[in-house]
Amino acid sequence: MGAKLVFGLIFFIFVVALLTLYWFVPLSETQFIVTQSGSNFTIGDLGSLELQFYENMRFPSNRISYGIDKCTLKKTDDMLRAFDILEDKTILEFYPSSNPEISIVCDSRTKIDGGLFIAGEGGPTNITESGDFHLISHGQILLIKESDCPNPNIATHELMHVLGFDHIPNPKDIMYNISRCDQKINNESINLINEIYSIPSAPDLAFHDFSAIMHGKYLDVNMTVKNEGFVSSPKSVIEVYADNKLVKKIDLISLDAGHGRIISLTNVWVKQISVDQIELVIVSSAEELSNENNRVVLHISG
């Protein structure tokens, strides 16, 4: 009887050791591949490269702030009328602010470039690539010469530069590189502005460069989360599921538009005996441009 008891105890210890080895010591490696991933928000090809410096350039919102500093009454009036022209033809709105997105300054000094007199200068000063867009956070206009035209063509020309529009080889277009009084804004530029700014000012969190590997019962996950929208995202949560069971929550800090974060998880213990599917989900309180890119599903490779 004593021998049986000893043998039973040894067998029990052996079984416990095997179970411990199975549950806590990685003996095999399982790789997962993506089988389902939502598409990122896209606006398609608008042909903006033909009109703008970069593709799909815009400010975060269609309401854009400005500040005018030390300009003559004439130049100030020209700039305000240029804002009115764009507001009348597009969905843009401009408003004064002490912390402006567009800074307008004036300089009476003569400037020459390539033998040509420069009437003004303007353009974006801070651009961030965010998804399909090149996001303008600040621009500046330098008004050098007062316009002799009935319409504020110089101010309008420089304002279009700040909005991301390049020169056009058409002497009758407002974006021709030499100012004339008969120039107008072309319909293609107006349509492009209305199309780009019709998209709401919202964040858009999305997964990039994700992978998952299990070493025995331990899960390693690598992912990059980016904000491809126009404004900062609120604090969010990333949930990791193994066969539809929550195994990990990760707090995600607020991300500025165009910014991202690399996240790596190692040795996340999974209770299930076997796992066929890993799922990554972004849970956000914000209304985003798209929710389709907030979920990724991975299955066992092969």
Confidence of residue 25 (pLDDT cuts 50, 70, 90): low
Helix (H/G/I), strand (E/B), else coil: 202 = coil
- Residue 58: its pLDDT value, please? 96
Q: What is the mean pLDDT of residues 149-168?
A: 93
Nearby residues of 281 by Cβ (< 8 Å), 6 or more positions away: 238, 239, 241, 294, 295
* Least confident piece of the model among 52-56, 117-121, 153-157: 117-121
CATH of domain 48-197: 3.40.390.10
Which residues fall within 8 angstroms of residue 29, CB to CB, at 6 or more apart?
213, 214, 215
What one-letter code names the amino acid at 44?
G
Give pLDDT, residue 202: 95
Percent of residues, the chain, with pLDDT higher than 90: 63
Bridge partners (DSSP) listed for residue 221:
212, 265
pLDDT of residue 47: 52
Give the tens place of pLDDT for each residue, 183-218.
999 999 999 999 999 999 999 999 988 899 988 888
Please say if the pLDDT value at position 18 is more than 70: no
- Contact (CB, 8 A) for 46 and 199: no
pLDDT confidence bin for 29, thresholds 50/70/90: confident
pLDDT band (50, 70, 90) for residue 115: very low
Domain layout of the chain by residue ranges = 25-42+202-300, 48-197
pLDDT for position 209: 86
Supply the pLDDT for residue 246: 95
Q: What is the mean pLDDT of residues 261-267?
A: 93
pLDDT score at 147: 79
Instruction: Tell me if 208 sits within 8 A of 201, measured CB to CB.
Output: no
Nearest to 278 by CA among 219, 198, 206, 229: 219
pTM to 2 decimal places? 0.82
CATH architecture for the domain at 25-42+202-300:
Sandwich (2.60)
Task: Output the pLDDT for position 112.
Answer: 46
Q: What percent of the chain has pLDDT over 70?
A: 81
The per-type count for the chain, helices as H runs and strands as E runs, is 4, 16
